Structure 1
């Protein structure tokens, strides 16, 4: 079962400038910073002790980023079990869980076509 909202993505032009803003100006801590290629990182920031984090994601890595809105990631303890249960309940998924260096993810839609991410 879903246990919390994990991350909300914020799409930025300059990831390093945004990192500086959120950490130095807002006072958030860096929760994760994993390389995603030569010019970007999987960067999460959050208030000290918070469970929900902001992902600071570079627009250059997202096609159509001009239309992108913040995205919600739901965390779970068993992505395959949660995927199967939600699928059985009629939730439409956009593929199967995909293992990546920074977690296992799968996208799903609500009835209005909004897309969310499920992460373990």
Structure 2
């Protein structure tokens, strides 16, 4: 048996502002943006070169979902953006205005720095150490 995570739903305030951040600042690819009627859209973005897991940008509907935009994990790092070149991506993200919460550091598992998306969700930019 073979399984994988295909999509991770990420609550956003607005589809277009989220696309602007993930595509415009992080350099993700816009995979799909389909009208679902009633103001809903199916918006999928993906880091360049990613083959399996992608983000479904889900516009929050209603009070409890709106309250959770930017805090889906209680302030912990939520997602891990893996890279094959930490310095290249860190520089590009900083130049695009991405907010890093710390200076890059080396850990036993690799080179890492925490950044926030436009809503305050915490991410790791991570280049794993060679095995």
Higher relative contact order (CA 8 A, sep 6+): 1
TM-score (norm 1): 0.50
